[in-house]
């Protein structure tokens, strides 16, 4: 089976980070190609929150890409198979002016055709190109994927999908804030 990478439903809205778009854009992360950065990506949060509770999560949401904790990053960096398929980009998290290091952003280096276009809902991105790129309003994943992978981009979408291998890895390492749907 494959699953869309999603955060737990109890992820607080107050933990929504702002992504500083200087080095790369979301479009760069959709190319499935290695990215070379001179500086880490920067995410900021300027709200009164429990920093201890916030830092207990393993995956975080932003107005840009999602990013992961130093704990999960270390676990994944030590998995040779995973790092062949996914580049982990350095990120700095700034919470109320204090910098935290060791965070990473996923950059899957492969894409797979995993959207069930018959069951998904979409519309043309451009009215002038009805057969061109699609904007998906509801994505249903195919479950007949036989490729051996850990994480990939869904072809034609910004959606990241994970395999049973990564799901099992997360369960074995007590990563609880990723939902497997």
> Would residue 120 count as lying in a domain?
no
> Would residue 11 count as lying in a domain?
yes
- φ, ψ for residue 84, nearest 5 deg: -75, -25
What is the per-residue pLDDT for 129?
A: 80
What is the per-residue pLDDT for 158?
A: 80
Q: How many Å apart are CA 179 and CA 98, to the nearest integer?
A: 29
Q: What end-to-end distance do the CA atoms of the chain give, in Å?
A: 10
What is the per-residue pLDDT for 168?
A: 94
Residue 145 near residue 2 (C-beta atoms within 8 A) = yes
Residue 139 CA, chain-centre distance (Å), reads 16
> Would residue 133 count as lying in a domain?
no
> Would residue 119 count as lying in a domain?
no
> Would residue 95 count as lying in a domain?
yes
What is the per-residue pLDDT for 74?
A: 97
Residue 55 near residue 100 (C-beta atoms within 8 A) = yes
Helices (H), 50-163: 51-54, 70-77, 80-85
> Would residue 71 count as lying in a domain?
yes
What is the per-residue pLDDT for 52?
A: 87
Eight-state DSSP code of residue 80: H
Q: How many Å apart are CA 4 and CA 111, to the nearest integer?
A: 13
- Structure tokens of 82? 């995973």
Q: How many Å apart are CA 98 and CA 141, to the nearest integer?
A: 39
What is the per-residue pLDDT for 1?
A: 85
Number of structural domains in the chain = 1
What is the per-residue pLDDT for 123?
A: 84
> Would residue 121 count as lying in a domain?
no
What is the per-residue pLDDT for 83?
A: 95
Domain hosting 62: range is 2-113+140-180
What is the per-residue pLDDT for 55?
A: 85
Rounded to two decimals, the pTM is 0.88
Which portions of the chain are predicted below pLDDT 70?
A: none
> Would residue 32 count as lying in a domain?
yes
């Amino acid at each position: 089976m494959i699953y869309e990478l999603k955060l737990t439903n109890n992820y607080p809205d107050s933990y929504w980070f702002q992504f500083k778009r200087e080095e790369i854009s979301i479009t760069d992360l959709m190319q499935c190609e290695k990215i070379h950065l001179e500086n880490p990506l920067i995410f900021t949060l300027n709200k009164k929150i429990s920093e201890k509770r916030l830092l207990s999560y393993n995956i975080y949401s932003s107005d840009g890409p999602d990013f992961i904790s130093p704990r999960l990053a270390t676990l994944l960096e030590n998995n040779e198979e995973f790092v062949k398929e996914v580049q982990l980009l350095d990120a700095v998290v700034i919470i109320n002016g204090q910098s935290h290091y060791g965070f990473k952003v996923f950059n899957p280096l492969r894409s797979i055709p995993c959207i069930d276009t018959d069951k998904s809902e979409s519309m043309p991105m451009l009215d002038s190109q009805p057969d061109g790129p699609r904007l998906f309003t509801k994505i249903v994943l195919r479950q007949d994927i036989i490729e051996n992978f850990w994480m990939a981009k869904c072809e034609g979408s910004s959606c990241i999908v994970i395999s049973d291998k990564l799901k099992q890895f997360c369960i074995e390492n007590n990563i609880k804030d990723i939902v497997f749907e």
